[in-house]
Amino acid sequence: MGAKRDFNVEVIKTEVVAASLPMQEHWLPQSNLDLLLPPMDVGVFFCYQNPIISGMPQYSSGSMVKVLKVSLAETLVSYYAFAGELVQNLAGEPEILCNNAGVNFTEAWADIELKEINLYNPDESIEGKLVPKKKHGVLAIQATQLKCGGIVVACTFDHRVADAYSTNMFLVSWAEIAQSKPLSQLPSFRRSFLSPRRPSHYDPLVIDSMYIPISSLKQETRAVTNIDDDEQVISRIYYVKAEEISRLQSLANNCNNDMISTKFHRFTKLETFSAFLWKTIANGMGGNSTPNYENFRFGIVVNGRSRLSDGVEEQAKVLKGYFGNVLSIPFGEKKVEKLKEKPLSWVANAVHEFLEPAKTKEHFLGLINWVEDHRPEPALARIYATNEDAVAVVVSSGQQFPVGKIEFGWGEPVFGSYHFPWEGKAGYVMPMPSPKGNGDWVVYMHMLKWQLELVEASASNVFKPLTADYLNLN
């Protein structure tokens, strides 16, 4: 097994790939839920071994890139928003100009074998190398050929245009078209499902506690360049064994069943995982080498598609293919000392309680109305507006991440992950299914350095650094 090492990436060429069919230039408005997203780019990447290993010797590096380009052009016919540009309208709000300006497609070469890439530390191996920087447009793609004959396919997209669910749909469609298969899901850009109600109605106690107009935020007085070393934000990728996830879930549920004072819930794996992470970080706070925060906020991203359909078959069908952002970020805030002293079941119950109000149709309809009543003033999820006595982490479930379906014809990826090293200080965590398909999780974490050090020091039995050995790379 090769040792992990640094490597160079050489750009061979960059060209614009547009939709393969002409389209009528038009404007696509952002929905009210899109308007809750600030300007930020999100990356995702997939690693493929040499096609010979997958029994596909007919594919060379050049032919793989050609397949990617040709199929991308065809995919952009259906996903035309990704071939457009995001511009401001007269009200100062972003809108998508669907003009088929195209997608920047970069071909690159890396002088390294796949097994030598340090996937555990994406700051070193992925950022600025394998995932492209989006310079304009909505989407950028990079295909990096490796010394071993493998390839890394990566995308960077504007979060204001699409959430992870929408991007997953695009990626699956791209792979299906590459294999000349019919699309299993057509995208829908029908915004009417997310139109505000008349008259406006929402619960201000709920929505105001979760979102805040930008103008209400206190101005940041300290320059980013002056952030202390303890406040540096870094990224790591771990794997968590299926038996560890089940063990934590059983522990939380068994303890909860014994707690007479707590209403019993059957905690999900995501609730249990989130509670464990919340408590693990809190347990180590206030030590000699960690900041001493009084409060700890913890949030979970909720996908509203199934909530908005509310069991109506026709709506469920459209929303299943809806392209855009349909997200809400409920969160809870607890005293660090309380999180330390209480058992895992109590923390899991706290997670369950802040999640429940956001898992309804009424919540998302109310959120749409709340945005409408504040337009054109931009707003932000309140968990990202932490003050000096609080720290925050957000979990975004990637359990629907279709890593095994992103197959362009030369074999399934041996690894795939989202990559989101955003500039905010709130931590971001995404658990995804392992490419092994055995129930394990791959967990991308982007958090304050001291938080990750706490996780590795006190939960090393749960969070294992991702390695080539785990992925069976040879």
**Pairing verdict, β 295-303 and 390-396:** parallel
- CA triplet 234, 238, 243: central angle to 5 degrees? 150
* CA-atom Rg of the chain in angstroms: 22
Phi, psi (5° rounding) for residue 460?
-65, -20
What does the CA dihedral 408, 414, 420, 425 come to, rounded to 10 degrees?
170
- Tell how many helices (H) and how many strands (E) occur in the chain: 12, 19
* Nearest CA among 399, 210, 270, 273 for reference residue 281: 273
Q: What is the pLDDT of residue 216?
A: 86
pTM: 0.94
Q: What is the pLDDT of residue 310?
A: 76
- Which sequence spans correspond to the domains of the chain? 9-194
Contact predicate 361/308, CB 8 Å:
yes
* Nearest CA among 45, 47, 56 for reference residue 410: 56
Mean pLDDT by 10 residues, the chain (474 residues): 80 96 94 95 97 88 94 98 96 95 98 97 96 96 97 98 98 98 96 92 92 78 38 93 96 69 76 98 84 92 91 83 97 96 96 95 96 94 80 94 96 96 89 96 96 95 96 89
Q: What is the pLDDT of residue 252?
A: 94
CATH number given to 9-194: 3.30.559.10
Q: What is the pLDDT of residue 227?
A: 37
Q: What is the pLDDT of residue 309?
A: 85
Q: What is the pLDDT of residue 220?
A: 39
Q: What is the pLDDT of residue 390?
A: 82
Contact predicate 7/112, CB 8 Å:
yes
d(CA 9, CA 109): 6
Q: How many other CB atoms are there within 10 angstroms of residue 440's CB atom?
A: 19
d(CA 125, CA 117): 6
Q: What is the pLDDT of residue 218?
A: 64
- CA triplet 356, 358, 359: central angle to 5 degrees? 70
Helices 269-284 and 242-258, axial angle in degrees (round to 10): 90
Structure tokens at 436: 């092994």
Q: What is the pLDDT of residue 315?
A: 81
Q: What is the pLDDT of residue 264?
A: 61
Q: What is the pLDDT of residue 311?
A: 75
> Could you give the residue ranges of the DSSP H alpha helices within 211-360?
242-258, 269-284, 305-309, 313-320, 336-341, 344-355
Say which DSSP state 131 is in: B
CA atoms within 13 A on the CB side of 250: 6
